[in-house]
Structure 1
Amino acid sequence: MAERKYTSAGTDGWLNVRREPSGIIIALPEYIATEMESSSNGRDHFIVKEGVERGNRFSVKAGYLKTQPPAYRPAASMQFSLSRSILTYATGRARAFTDEGNPIRPGTHPIQLPDFPHHLGAIYLQQSAYAKNWFYLGQGNSVIGKNDRYLHPGGVSNGCITVHPTDWTQLYQYLVLCRSGDEKTVGNVVVVR
């Protein structure tokens, strides 16, 4: 029987793994549930059970998959006020904004698990070690230029919910452990005027 294990990551919240059988290196977010298949030649072979890579096979150097489940929380229920530029969540508040010319629409938006390291966040790494860890707001997968609104840190917004970089670490550490039970999302954000 396959064993359930969880990704552990470095100080940036990402774990580099090898896609099997192609050997391409990608990064998975921390705390992702996996199903361990085997261990050989110092590598653990596993299937990802949640997030955008769900169902795909990978391997990683032995020791980076943990048996102890993370301290998961229930789904996040957040609110972003366009007029007040405040994002509220169960354990705090964050300063946030959107592009006035292309604002995120009012309503409820699902918040997905981080999908890949977003290099546009690198300029904010001094304010948050997790600046490249963005949460896609929507159904399915993000499509650049068409369906690509995220919850992310920064000083520039193209219609996403953009959080002040110094408020990002606390929000990220809360959200990354939330689960909705659908193997894809961490909760919802309601955008209000």
Structure 2
Amino acid sequence: MNQVIARARTNTTAGSVHPVVVTTKFTKSSDTSGWLKVQLEPSGKMTFLPEYVKVSVTKEDSRTHFMILEGEHKGKVASLKSENAANCLVSTSRGSGAKLIAKTLGRQRLASKPRHNEVLNQLIATLTFDGQSAMITLDSDVDFKESNPLSPYYEQVRHSQPLPKGTYRILTPVVAKRADFTSFYVTAPGGNPDLKYHTVWFPIEYAATQNSNFVHVGNLSEGCVTMYDLTKWNALYKYLISNRSDKEGKYVGTVTIE
């Protein structure tokens, strides 16, 4: 998508102007992490953007410069080496909002092979999305240490509980979660060697927990919408990340828990 953003003089002829055209693109990861490393300008600081962030390309030389149009770094200029930009800033389109429906089935004690056959009291549900369905867990009935600094219970030990039934908005991810939270689901016996994008966790908007619940992959849920079926995460990730439900790009869609 090309867009005229200004008119500028280019010579000394009085009244001579021409459109300055920028190109709208979307970010794409250079690997299977789901994150694109970019250089903020003029500071040179490196940061990461999720996929499908809208940007406008403003200058191309040895580096491609672009304005970030949404998200945490909205309004900032960033750059990539031009050979990387050719593959990582793409012309595409996004969906208008992902819709997930989780139908609760009940508690079941399950052993997770990737977690060394740990047995947990899972709250199992069936998640439907984009014409597919998969088994998820909504809660694993475990104690955990609150890690969200915004929570009044920060660094306290809490007991997990599922989200109440209802519909919640899913936020666009901002930062990667620690790889060691989920990397063993790729490498451990009983895991999925083809699992990708596992550090991308999608926050669920819920004021009562300061958005501490997520849509993510794994066999342990501290009240999150957790993709238990490791073979279905890649598809769920691609569906979520390729959607935005608002003009600002803040949300990817909704999840309804029944």
Using a 3 Å threshold, how does the CA distance of structure 1 residues 55 and 94 change in structure 2: closer, same or farther?
Answer: farther
Q: Indicate conservation of the 8 Å contact 1:77/1:89, yes or no.
A: yes
Q: Indicate conservation of the 8 Å contact 1:133/1:152, yes or no.
A: yes
Distance (whole Å) between structure 2 residues aligned to residue 124 and residue 24 of structure 1:
32
Q: Which residue of 2 aligns with 1:90?
A: 130
1:122 aligns with 2:144: no
| 1:40-189 to 2 correspondences below 5 Å | 40=61, 42-65=62-85, 68-83=90-105, 84-99=124-139, 100=141, 101-119=160-178, 120-126=181-187, 127=192, 128-138=195-205, 146-164=210-228, 165-182=230-247, 183-189=249-255
Q: Indicate conservation of the 8 Å contact 1:52/1:184, yes or no.
A: no
Distance (whole Å) between structure 2 residues aligned to residue 34 and residue 27 of structure 1:
14
Q: Following TM superposition, by how much is the alpha carbon of 1:71 offset from its aligned partner in structure 2, in angstroms?
A: 4.1
Q: Indicate conservation of the 8 Å contact 2:25/2:92, yes or no.
A: no
- Post-superposition CA distance 1:119-160 (Å, at most 9, x none): 2233334531111122111179xxxx7432110001111111
Q: Secondary structure at the match of 1:171?
A: helix
Q: Which residue of 1 aligns with 2:256?
A: 190
Q: Secondary structure at the match of 1:166?
A: coil
| CA radius of gyration, larger in | 2
Q: Indicate conservation of the 8 Å contact 1:51/1:185, yes or no.
A: no
TM-score by length of 2: 0.65
Q: Indicate conservation of the 8 Å contact 1:149/1:160, yes or no.
A: yes
Q: Indicate conservation of the 8 Å contact 2:28/2:90, yes or no.
A: no
Distance (whole Å) between structure 1 residues aligned to residue 186 and residue 42 of structure 2:
33
Distance (whole Å) between structure 2 residues aligned to residue 124 and residue 54 of structure 1:
33
Using a 3 Å threshold, how does the CA distance of structure 1 residues 110 and 46 change in structure 2: closer, same or farther?
Answer: same
Q: Indicate conservation of the 8 Å contact 2:27/2:55, yes or no.
A: yes
Q: Following TM superposition, by how much is the alpha carbon of 1:51 offset from its aligned partner in structure 2, in angstroms?
A: 3.1
Q: Which residue of 2 aligns with 1:38?
A: 59
Deviates more, 1:71-80 or 1:156-165: 71-80
Using a 3 Å threshold, how does the CA distance of structure 1 residues 65 and 33 change in structure 2: closer, same or farther?
Answer: farther
Q: Indicate conservation of the 8 Å contact 2:27/2:90, yes or no.
A: no
Q: Following TM superposition, by how much is the alpha carbon of 1:116 offset from its aligned partner in structure 2, in angstroms?
A: 2.0
Distance (whole Å) between structure 2 residues aligned to residue 121 and residue 150 of structure 1:
14
TM-score by length of 1: 0.84
Q: Which has the higher contact order (CA 8 A, sep 6+)?
A: 1
Q: Which residue of 2 aligns with 1:22?
A: 43
Q: Indicate conservation of the 8 Å contact 2:203/2:211, yes or no.
A: no
Using a 3 Å threshold, how does the CA distance of structure 1 residues 68 and 19 change in structure 2: closer, same or farther?
Answer: closer
Structure 1 unaligned residues grouped into runs of 5+ = none
Distance (whole Å) between structure 1 residues aligned to residue 76 and residue 223 of structure 2:
31
